[in-house]
């Protein structure tokens, strides 16, 4: 008979630890498999990953979490996409929306029709044909529903307080049998021959033994890095930003249903509105900017009064050589870090957990399972990496040394191929369950000025007035539909007002 794991230990809380605990507790019977999470209140969490992408909806649904209850508890707002300001050129702005642009027709992608109409003089940007972008511009929101109206094309995610999300998932996990142990690790015990981790010895004197360990200790990577010695792939050549300053501020103005990313002198600044505050951060390269200047830029560009002092975070873009080594799986920052330009931090936690559950091993922890997991997670990181690099490299800005570096730097062959393919005739393809599909690549390509030299020859044969009329009809229908939706703030107040706000 197959032997199964009986003792799983998670070291570290925060979003990574409690997402792992919640997901495992939703799948495993505590009568057969014990799950223990060890964390210390003395060790803080990063807690700035407040913007998400639509895949978080599936994670919460798999846990059986009600959306309105989760949003109330985490002070969440809705997110329809990301606005990018000053990235391609200073003064430019575009929205990378969730969902697609327009409607594909006759087996051809919508953006090919848009390229044809642009050649005929259409001045509307492609995000004028995205329901999510149109609603964003009007600061409106409603649930998509299942009708055939333009509203059914809405796709959304959330902004929320990551600390409150971890607290919410802790309650969920503990109610399903997860045991939380308070304490700091003083010693990590390993099997002499295999090097497998056998137990954690805490400062309380308690020893927590286990068969499988999750490292959710953040940048310290206490298990996967310091104990098992797994090295790190450094991607700072392509992603030179290595520091963030983060600070919350009071609301000012309407509660917008999208994240804003504004390019600065040597990096970029995020704006993430929750129901009770706005999260802000300035990510920059310390090789091109001093900390004091970065802090001054952040504070000078807040919408409202700062609610705390800025907190500095150092990081290095990249990932571990292995995400699963011996009997240890790294989740979250201990596994790797990619700056949250496209809000992928929580997604990469989610994917690490989901892939582990999909490959859930027996007690022997087969090597082939570890190999498959590592290959999958490496591919995930590399694909997200390329998409983030695109934002930096696809710029015409030459006003600072930082942007000159980004515009002229060498890029991975995998990204160079995608850019060249799109430049020829607007072609782009997704590979191996790639997270960012064609609409996302198209939004950034076009938003930052990578314009195809031609478009699909079949579309070129269509009557010009027929193409124009189809696009006008779509654009007008989306604009009218957005006008019938409630404001984002009004919808939140009726659906999920923040608890304790």
The candidate with the shortest Cα–Cα distance to 149, out of 485, 451, 435, 406, is 485
User: Are 384 and 436 contacting, i.e. CB atoms less than 8 angstroms apart?
Assistant: yes
User: Which residues, in sequence order, are CB contacts of 179 under 8 Å at separation 6+?
Assistant: 34, 35, 36, 37
Respond yes or no: is residue 79 known to be catalytic: yes
The candidate with the shortest Cα–Cα distance to 255, out of 500, 499, 493, 494, is 493
Q: Up-side HSE of residue 293: CA atoms within 13 Å toward CB?
A: 11
User: Are 276 and 498 contacting, i.e. CB atoms less than 8 angstroms apart?
Assistant: yes
194: number of Cβ within 10 Å: 10
Based on its alpha-carbon atoms, the radius of gyration of the chain, rounded to whole angstroms, reads: 23
User: Are 30 and 176 contacting, i.e. CB atoms less than 8 angstroms apart?
Assistant: yes
CA trace torsion 115, 120, 125, 130 (10° rounding): -60
DSSP three-state, residue 469: helix
DSSP three-state, residue 282: strand
* Residue 500 in tokens: 């304790």
Cα–Cα distance between 322 and 133 in angstroms, integer? 38
**C-alpha angle 343/346/349, rounded to 5°?**
140
Cβ-based burial of 290 (10 A; exposed 0-12, middle 13-18, buried ≥19): exposed
Cβ-based burial of 305 (10 A; exposed 0-12, middle 13-18, buried ≥19): exposed
Q: How far is CA 71 from the centre of its chain?
A: 18
Cα–Cα distance between 319 and 337 in angstroms, integer? 6
User: Are 229 and 322 contacting, i.e. CB atoms less than 8 angstroms apart?
Assistant: no
Cα–Cα distance between 142 and 152 in angstroms, integer? 10
Query: Inter-axis angle of helices 401-408 and 367-393, to 10 degrees?
Result: 120
Q: Which of 7, 31, 79, 418 is catalytic?
A: 79
Cα–Cα distance between 487 and 135 in angstroms, integer? 9
Burial 320-357 (b: 16+ CB within 10 A, else e): bebbbbbbbbbbbbbbbbbbbbbbbbbbbbbbbbbbbe
Q: Which residues are catalytic?
A: 79
């Amino acid at each position: 008979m197959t032997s199964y794991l009986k003792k799983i230990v998670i070291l570290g809380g925060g979003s990574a630890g409690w997402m792992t605990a919640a997901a495992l507790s939703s799948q495993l019977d505590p009568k057969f498999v014990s799950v223990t999470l060890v964390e210390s209140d003395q060790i803080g969490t990063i807690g700035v990953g407040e913007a998400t992408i639509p895949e978080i909806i599936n994670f919460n649904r798999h846990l059986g979490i009600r959306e309105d209850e989760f949003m109330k508890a985490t002070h969440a707002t809705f997110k329809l996409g990301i606005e990018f300001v000053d990235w391609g050129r200073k003064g430019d702005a575009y929205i990378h929306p969730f969902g697609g642009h327009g409607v594909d027709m006759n087996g051809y992608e919508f953006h090919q029709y848009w390229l044809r109409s642009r050649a005929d003089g259409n001045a509307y940007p492609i995000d004028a044909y995205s329901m999510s972008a149109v609603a964003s511009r009007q600061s409106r929101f409603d649930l998509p529903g299942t009708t055939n109206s333009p509203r059914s094309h809405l796709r959304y995610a959330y902004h929320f307080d990551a600390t409150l999300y971890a607290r919410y998932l802790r309650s969920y996990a503990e109610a399903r049998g997860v045991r939380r142990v308070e304490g700091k690790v003083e010693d990590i015990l390993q099997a002499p021959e295999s090097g497998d981790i056998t137990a954690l010895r805490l400062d309380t004197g308690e020893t927590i033994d286990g068969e499988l360990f999750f490292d959710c200790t953040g940048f310290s990577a206490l298990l996967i890095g310091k104990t098992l010695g797994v090295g790190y792939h450094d991607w700072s050549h392509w992603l030179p930003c290595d520091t963030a300053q983060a600070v919350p501020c009071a609301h000012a103005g309407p509660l917008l249903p999208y994240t804003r990313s504004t390019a600065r002198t040597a990096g970029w600044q995020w704006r993430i509105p929750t129901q009770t505050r706005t999260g802000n951060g300035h990510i920059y390269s310390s090789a091109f900017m001093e900390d004091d200047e970065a802090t001054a830029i952040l504070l000078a560009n807040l919408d409202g009064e700062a609610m705390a002092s800025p907190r500095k975070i150092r990081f290095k873009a990249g990932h571990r050589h292995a995400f699963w080594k011996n009997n240890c799986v790294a989740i979250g920052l201990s596994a790797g870090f990619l700056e949250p330009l496209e809000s992928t931090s929580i997604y990469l936690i989610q994917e690490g957990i989901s892939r582990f559950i999909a490959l859930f091993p027996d007690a022997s922890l087969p090597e082939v399972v570890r190999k498959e997991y590592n290959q999958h997670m490496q591919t995930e990181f590399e694909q997200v990496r390329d998409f983030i690099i695109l934002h930096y490299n696809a710029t015409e800005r030459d006003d600072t040394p930082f942007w000159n570096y980004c515009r002229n730097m060498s890029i991975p062959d995998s990204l160079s191929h995608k850019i060249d393919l799109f430049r020829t005739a607007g072609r782009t393809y997704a590979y191996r369950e790639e997270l960012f599909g064609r609409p996302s690549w198209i939004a950034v390509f076009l938003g930052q000025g990578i314009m195809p030299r031609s478009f699909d020859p079949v579309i070129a044969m269509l009557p010009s007035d027929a193409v124009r009329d189809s696009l006008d009809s779509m654009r007008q229908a989306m604009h009218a539909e957005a006008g019938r939706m409630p404001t984002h703030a009004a919808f939140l107040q009726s659906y999920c007002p923040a608890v304790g706000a």
